[in-house]
Every structure is written in C-alpha cells, then in structure tokens.
Amino acid sequence: MAKECLCIDVGGSAIKYALIDDTRTISEHGQVPTPYDGIPAYLAALTDLYRQFAEKIEGIALSVPGIIDSENGVCITGGALKFIENFPLVTELQKTCPVPIAVMNDAKSAALAESKQGVLADCQDGIVLILGTGIGGALVKDGQVHMGKHFSAGEFSFITLSENVDQGACNWAGVNGNPRLIGMVANVKKLDPKKLTGHDVFRWAGEGDEKVLMVLDQFTRNLARMIFNLQVIFDPERVAIGGGISRQPLLLEYIRRNLDYFYDLNPMYFPKAEVVTCKFFNEANLIGAYENLRMRMDF
C-alpha cells in the first residue's frame, strides 16, 4: 500500500492541504482559514488537520512563510505570521502529532518541486521566481535548493533598488509585486485599484487595450532587468516564473521581449538563460513540502 503524507501549505489567508503518496498521487484537497491570533491557535489548526487524517498518514510535510531552518525545524521568522519568531515548530507540533514532520520555506518548497519533478529537473543551476504580493523565490545550485548561511537565500522581495529606502517602491517587491501592476493599470484606467484584479488586467491586455499593454511593457521591463542582473550574478541555465499571474501567456511573452532588449543593449556578451513558466501552480508548495519530507525522513 502506498505511504500517504499530509502536506500542508500555510498561506496568508488560507492553510491548504492534501494527501500525497509515494506514487506522487494527490488527493483530499482542502483548505481552512489561516489563524492570526497567536501560536496556540496556529498549532491547533495544524493539529486538527492531522487528527482528520491520523489513521491514514505516516508523516506531515509543511510549507510555511518566513525564514525557516529546515534542518532543525525552526521558524526563524513567520513572514505574514508576525507572531512567530524563533519558534521550534516541528518540536512543538510533534507533541500533538506523533509522526515524522518536516518544514520548509514556501518559495523554497516550490523550487524543490520544480527541481525534482518540474521544469528545472534537468538543470544543475536554476532560479525560481514566484510573483505574488511580493517576489518569492529560490536558487537551485548543483541540483539542490540553496538555503544560504542563515536560511534566507532567495528573499528577492527585499533587494533594494533605491537609496530612498523609506519609499514604497524602493525594493523589488514594491516594483514588481502584483499590487504594483494593479495600481499602475488602475492609474491609466482612472479606476479604484481595490476594485481590480489580475484577471481584469490580463483580460484588457488580451483585448489589445493600448494603455494596459503599455503598463505591462513597463512592468515586465523592470522584471526583465532584474532577471538580467540575476543572470549576470548567478549564471543559471533556466529561470522559472511562478505565481498566479504566470499562467498568463502574455506575461512570459513580454518578459522575454524585454529581456532580449537588455541583452541587445549590453556591449558585452552574456549567455542567456531560458525563461519558462513553472510546471506546478497551486500545488507547487505542497509537492515541494512532500519532497522535503521524503529527503529528510527517507520515505
């Protein structure tokens, strides 16, 4: 019988979960609200999920926000979960969930999924960029997700782009986070950004709205510039773009077009990385968390 593990992806608004077995079959999808009223409520929500599947599973695989020490199962920070700092999540959770547990940062989980089963599976060196409210991501070095000395490698959101660090668009998240794209489109369309979504933006772009296409070009020009910089620094074979808006073919088309602009503009030759869309979308973090558990617990 296939070994099933409970895989959990803690997000800003919801905790997603599914069962994954050693044939990589995914079942029992679901989600519950993410609690924000402290560690006891957080542990209770995770424990409730364990108890729901306790008779079927042989381990728990967690993908969580923040800087995560996966070796020791410690959340150094909690990302959007501000109440978590230097918290031994695995140790505390095992008090109520007596099975093997492994934890990994969410963006690194997505990168692990892509490096094991996805578009980076044939790459030694690659980069995963997750476009969302911020810029999540990870470096894959020699076929392994690179953690960094302090487990914070790949925190691309905080790359500073301006000496005016007190301004909203001074870092990469401020320039290329989804709210920035929506805000730019709202500005040219004279609309309330709170009433717009990414779907609206790409619907207008697909219809050929010239103002929206101009914004998309500007937005992806900034994104391409940063990909070019990462290429110069790290020299990856492939850059994989993930996140909800990565499903939009126009996004990749404009990124590639603007990336060519920077390569053509540069007087020196630099090898070009292939830019692709991630294979996994909503399931990436769950799959990566499962792969992390397998590696650490010899499943």
Residue 299: the pLDDT is: 63
Residue 198: the pLDDT is: 87
Q: What is the pLDDT of residues 76-117, one digit of tens each?
A: 998 889 899 999 999 999 999 999 999 999 999 999 999 999
Q: Do domains 4-110+282-297 and 122-277 have the same CATH topology?
A: yes
φ, ψ of residue 139 in degrees (nearest 5)? -100, 135
CATH code: domain 122-277 is 3.30.420.40
Residue 141: the pLDDT is: 96
Residue 278: the pLDDT is: 94
The whole-angstrom separation of Cα 141 and Cα 69 is 18
Report pTM: 0.90
The closest of 35, 43, 71 to 150, measured between CA atoms, is 71
Task: Using 50 as the pLDDT threshold, list the residues of the chain that sit under it.
Answer: none
Domain ranges of the chain: 4-110+282-297, 122-277
Residue 244: the pLDDT is: 82
CATH code: domain 4-110+282-297 is 3.30.420.40
Residue 89: the pLDDT is: 96
Residue 168: the pLDDT is: 58
